Structure 1
């Protein structure tokens, strides 16, 4: 198989139509291969489904007029599909495809695909008055309504061969724009996602992304929006990696910062998977009958199935005594399998006649250690 052929010219050469067409096709092929292999196909700009409220003059039913905003998409063949101005969807086109369906609340998919057309006024007669072939091709588009479930066809499309030029119609590549709802002969709304499938945006394939300014921001929207997340890699002195939320004026409020020396700073609490040998601690005071807490990040399920082993240490607390001569001794300081404290203390006042020994509930200081058990083939909790 040969590679792409680039036209070459020489002095005195008679240029045929095929020579000039080859020049155009070479450039189109290079652009398509670039878009196909260095980018992921999808919507690059605009193309949202937009609505305008309307009223049926015969029934007074409220419905919406659905249109497609101007925009650009790149399909899986590398072909650019341009919608130069907003276009209103025709209800008659929808009825041709789905008019026989029973009434349903399920939304129907709307697709965009490339289409070649002969522009008005072409072909034109040549200098001898003979009608020549067309001299222009309009790289246009077509908006299609799908059947329920046709959105799955998008994922089943296969790109052309590596070196192939952009495919021309009738070969179709479907770009999902969204969904419309249909009730009693009219559109009644639009959706951006249905049955787990949403329109896809164009992307980029790269092993290296370099910022000329020394700071690289990864965010979820084109422009900074207050309250939206952003990841900022900064090469300024000192360099840092910051995850945070946009505040007013585009400033970033850090939630997590990794400094150049590896220090990690977080604004909230830290929780996550415990590795083998790691230990979490909880401590405090408890009285008789209280349930001891587990360390933060440890669940009762992890303790019950043996992934985490819990160790408890209790130290009886000296109670508040009514007199310096009252003697105190712990009778019981234990915890049961439910981590419930059992604490009893004994009091004796030798200055009281007759001598009386009393028992009452006590209090303890506790220390709860949770460690991850090392299991064969396991890697922690």
Structure 2
């Protein structure tokens, strides 16, 4: 088994067409292996399905004209597929594949694949041999319509062997561009996902990503958009990891920040699963009739199904009293709904007429939420 062959030349060598072709093919193979093994194949730029409203002049039916935007994709063999200008989808091509289907609301897949074509003859010098053989190959493309369900063929495609060059036609690699809807003999709309299969975009394979500016930003769109999320890893004098949303000027408003010392600051509330054996606490003051709160991160559903056990401690509060008054708690309980029942009796012998008064009271509460170490957590 040999590795890739790189052409070598020497002075006085007569260069044959095969020698020059080998030089080109070596570069193509190197580029394809880079694209295939350091990237995930898919759409690189553009190639979205766009619609424009139309009216059938014969029937008056409203429909849309669908076109593929200019753009670039990488297929799974490492070959670059370039669409240099918008391409309008032909309804006749769709009907040739799916015209016999019964009317349906299900969208049909649209694929892009590489194609080699012989370019139109251009004026140029004639070779010494007088041969009319073309000296250029147009690396073009073909747009294909699939049948319902054919979108699953995309993930079933197998890449070539490690050292292979990019695949040339008739080998075909399908790149899903999206889906079209078909109604009354015309296109009626487009989609980017159907039956659980979405349009695939190119990615990168890397164990290390290095930022030369000292800050590395991850975002969900090519450009910063107000209100969209971003993750910023910053170095410098105050290293930090920030998750936030873009503001109008392109700055990121922090929602969660991890400082270099490990301190975590969040703008909202914190919730999550309670690990086995853990305890969460809530405390405060409540008056008669109030519902006690659950500790942050504990839900009523977790309490109801027994995943979390609640323990409550109540301590009656002494109300402001005159120096001669006597105070006695009558009730300080909490029911199954965590509603406080608190009553107290007051008596001041110097007040005329002297009598015992019963009134609502207040308590200091402590709510403990626990997860048993044997039940697997919350």
TM-score normalised according to structure 1 size: 0.91
**Structure 2 residue 75 is the aligned partner of structure 1 residue 75:** yes
Pairwise CA distance, 1:16: 2.1
Asked if the contact 1:41/1:201 (under 8 Å) is kept, the reply is yes
> Partner of 1:218 in structure 2?
218
Contact 1:256 1:267 in 2 (8 A): yes
Q: Is the 8 A contact 1:123 1:134 kept in 2?
A: no
Counterpart residue number, 1:364: 363
Whether the 8 Å contact between 1:81 and 1:114 is mirrored in structure 2 is: yes
Is 1:122–1:135's contact at 8 Å kept on the other side of the alignment?
A: no
Aligned to 2:374, the other structure's residue is in SS state: coil
Q: Which residue of 2 aligns with 1:332?
A: 331
Could you tell me how far 1:93 is from its partner in structure 2?
0.3
Tell me, in whole angstroms, the C-alpha distance in 1 between the residues paired with 2:334 and 2:164: 74
Query: What residue number does 1:112 align with?
Result: 112
**Structure 1 residue 291 corresponds to structure 2 residue 291:** yes
Distance 2:208 2:129 in 1: 57
What are structure 1's unaligned runs of at least 5 residues?
none
| 1:48-95 CA-partner distances (Å, limit 9, x unpaired) | 111111111111211111111110000000000000111111110011
**Which residue of structure 1 lines up, in the alignment, with residue 229 of structure 2?**
229
**What SS does the aligned partner of 2:194 have?**
coil
Measured in 2, the distance between the counterparts of 1:100 and 1:303 equals 57
Deviates more, 1:334-343 or 1:293-302: 334-343
- 2:13 maps to 13
Change (3 A) 1:118 1:342: same
- 1:268 is matched with 268
3-state SS of paired residue (1:249): coil
Question: 1:364, 1:72 → 2: CA distance?
Answer: 69
Counterpart of 1:140 in structure 2 is: 140
The answer on whether the counterparts of 2:270 and 2:296 sit within 8 Å (CA) in structure 1 is no
Distance 1:349 1:258, change over 3 A: closer
CA-to-partner distance for each residue in 1:248-275, whole Å, 9 max, x for gaps? 2211211122222222222222222233
Match of 2:175 in 1: 175
Q: CA deviation at 1:128?
A: 4.5
Q: Structure 1 residues 122, 218: closer, same or farther in 2, change over 3 A? A: same
Give the 5 Å matches for 1:234-313.
Answer: 234-313=234-313
* Unaligned ranges ≥5, structure 2: none
Q: What is the CA–CA distance in structure 1 between the aligned matches of 2:256 and 2:269, rounded to whole Å? A: 11
Could you tell me how far apart the structure 1 residues matched to 2:35 and 2:137 are? 21
C-alpha change, 1:363 and 1:261, in structure 2 (3 Å) is: closer
Retained in 2: the 8 A contact 1:327–1:347?
yes
For these two proteins, the number of residue pairs brought into alignment is 377
* Residue 358 to residue 266, structure 1, CA distance change in 2 (3 Å): closer
The alignment yields a C-alpha RMSD, in angstroms, of 2.4
1:374 paired residue number:
373
**C-alpha distance in 2 between matches for 1:170 and 1:256:** 52
SS, match of residue 250 in structure 1: coil
Distance 1:278 1:210 in 2: 38
Aligned to 1:65: 65
Match of 2:199 in 1: 199
Alignment match, 2:345? 346
Cα-to-partner distance string for 1:313-356 (whole Å, 9 max, x where unaligned): 112234577x7655331222222343232333334454689975
Q: Distance in 2 between matches of 1:246 and 1:288?
A: 46
Change over 3 Å in CA distance of 1:196–1:293 after alignment to 2? same
